Amino acid sequence: MTAYGEPTVVGDGVGELVVLWGGFPIVGAAAGGLLAVGAGWVAGLAWAPAQGLFRLVDGLPDGYALGGGVGLGVLAGLVVAAMGTADRVLVTVDSARIRLRHGGTEQEVARSRTRVAFVDGKDLVLLDGDAGELVRQRSDLPADRLAAALKEHGWPWADADPHRDEYRRWVPDLPGLPTGADALLRARQEALERDRRDEARELRAELGRYGVVVRDDAKRQYWRLTRSDRSPQ
């Protein structure tokens, strides 16, 4: 297939959906049934949590207890499957644009705006001509499949972040940041520590408007400036 052929789709495929919607409900049903059958034994353990609930289940007729346990297990498995489905990432790329779908959200970036693409850890990153981030999307998609798809359609690909050595560890009141960026980084640090991912993502986008690019290592923040916002050397 040439760069002008059909779009290439990179995703986890049907197999993952089968595991999510078939495997998890089955596992949940088995676990729920076992808990219902063993409710009396669990209720007799002095250290076991929710003993009142297990005593209540143990007092139910066997058919009701088993059926309820299996039903609740299936429901729990379906909830896990729905959460997993919502967190899937689907990447569709052709010679003109790339579309990234994450759950119910979708973003599209034109090839003409992209200077380079690469994978940073588990993040697919696209940079513009100013070295600012157009996209940073986390997923479990293999880097080699993403690289092959973008290269096939003529996108510029790097095996590593070309600006990796420019990042500095953020600490409060560090000089060199644009006015207002330090306060945003403080707020974002709190969001990271409290595991508020949506808020951290919004603050990353806001920092981008200041010409500040952020990457995370665990809950530590590292930053660099885009080309137009760098101070003269």
Does position 5 have pLDDT exceeding 70, yes or no? Answer: no
Q: Spell out where 42-180 has E strands.
A: 89-93, 97-102, 105-110, 116-120, 123-127, 133-138, 168-169
Confidence of residue 24 (pLDDT cuts 50, 70, 90): low
**In whole angstroms, what is the distance from residue 40 CA to residue 32 CA?**
14
Tens digit of each residue's pLDDT (9 = 90 or more) over 33-42: 677 666 666 5
**In whole angstroms, what is the distance from residue 115 CA to residue 128 CA?**
5
Tens digit of each residue's pLDDT (9 = 90 or more) over 74-108: 677 667 655 655 567 889 999 999 999 987 788 99
Tens digit of each residue's pLDDT (9 = 90 or more) over 184-211: 999 999 999 999 999 999 999 999 999 9
Instruction: For residues 52-79, give the mean pLDDT.
Output: 66
Q: β-pairing, 123-127 with 116-120? A: antiparallel
User: Which H helix or E strand runs over 223?
Assistant: strand 220-225
